[in-house]
């Protein structure tokens, strides 16, 4: 399904250490996603090239940014991207998947178990998770293709512990999204610390926005999804 040579080369270029088992399991997982995608929609990116570059390699780019031994929540994990890529490549971290579509979460959890990987999963929306038992639980949160940054901050920052980081996977317009997020960052006690640029094979640009939670989010956040969408901070 994936070219282990190309994936290995991308990993080396981006400071990611891979074992033979990791490569095998990335390939197995990609195969499982593609096979299941024929029965019901897991991801729009299911062709071999898209799966290799826009799913596997794109998600690999966030792996070196996760702190050692961190507890990680992948919000809106969908088909397990980047959550399962993180779990495969970082045996030192604990991964929790948050997904609103039950059939997607069931697929990821079942496949993870079949491959021998322990992950936790919650069938819920991120704003509900952040108002409940998962609030303030994680050292890092990842999110990919969920929402524009001002809204995404409200969905995700309340899940973090103090000094935890959000790793928001964005396209080339990330700088503009950061500029539009000044009020949200202020309200939610976050600080946009770094912008990590990534170039995928073929020249497509990606950016990972690293946001740190400086102190606990005010209790009134997150609001309901309807209010977040209607009136972003």
Kindly state whether residue 6 falls inside one of the protein's structural domains.
no
What's 113's domain CATH number?
3.40.50.150
Ramachandran sector of residue 163 (left: φ over 0; alpha: ψ -120 to 50; beta: rest)? left
- At 18-32, the pLDDT tens digits run 999 999 999 999 999
Angle 20-37/4-13 helices, nearest 10 degrees? 120
What pLDDT does residue 105 have? 97
Q: What integer best gives the mean pLDDT of the chain?
A: 94
Domain that holds residue 126: 69-230
pTM of the full predicted structure? 0.95
What pLDDT does residue 37 have? 87
Cα(95)–Cα(98) distance, integer angstroms: 10
Here the tokens at position 64 are: 């070196």
Looking at per-residue pLDDT, the higher value among 85 and 46 belongs to 85
The CB density around residue 202, as the number of other CB atoms within 10 Å, is: 8
**How do 160-170 and 205-213 pair as beta strands?**
antiparallel
- At 187-196, the pLDDT tens digits run 999 999 999 9
Here the tokens at position 54 are: 């826009």
Kindly state whether residue 62 falls inside one of the protein's structural domains.
no
Kindly state whether residue 180 falls inside one of the protein's structural domains.
yes
Kindly state whether residue 154 falls inside one of the protein's structural domains.
yes
Looking at per-residue pLDDT, the higher value among 56 and 45 belongs to 56
Number of domains in the chain: 1
Kindly state whether residue 125 falls inside one of the protein's structural domains.
yes
Kindly state whether residue 196 falls inside one of the protein's structural domains.
yes
Kindly state whether residue 12 falls inside one of the protein's structural domains.
no
Share of the chain above pLDDT 70, in %: 99
Kindly state whether residue 73 falls inside one of the protein's structural domains.
yes
């Amino acid at each position: 399904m994936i070219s282990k040579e190309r994936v290995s080369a991308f990993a080396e270029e981006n400071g990611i250490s891979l074992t033979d088992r990791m490569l095998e399991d990335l390939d197995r997982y990609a195969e499982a996603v593609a096979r299941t995608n024929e029965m019901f929609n897991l991801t729009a990116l299911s062709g071999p090239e898209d799966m290799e570059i826009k799913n596997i390699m794109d998600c690999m780019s966030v792996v070196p940014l996760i702190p050692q031994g961190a507890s990680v929540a992948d919000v809106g994990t969908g088909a397990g991207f980047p959550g399962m890529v993180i779990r495969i490549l970082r045996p030192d971290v604990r991964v929790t998947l948050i997904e609103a579509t039950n059939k997607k979460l069931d697929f990821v959890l079942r496949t993870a178990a079949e491959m021998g990987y322990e992950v936790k999963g919650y069938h819920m929306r991120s704003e509900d998770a952040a108002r409940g038992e998962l609030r303030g639980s994680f050292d890092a949160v990842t999110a990919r293709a969920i929402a524009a940054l001002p809204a995404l901050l409200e969905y995700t920052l309340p899940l973090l512990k103090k000094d935890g980081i959000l790793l928001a996977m964005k396209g080339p317009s990330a700088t503009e999204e950061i500029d539009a997020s000044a009020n949200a960052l202020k309200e939610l006690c976050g600080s946009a610390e770094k912008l990590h640029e990534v170039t995928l094979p073929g020249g497509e640009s990606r950016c990972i926005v690293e946001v740190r939670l400086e102190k606990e989010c005010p209790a009134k956040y997150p609001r309901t999804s309807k209010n977040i969408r209607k009136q972003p901070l």
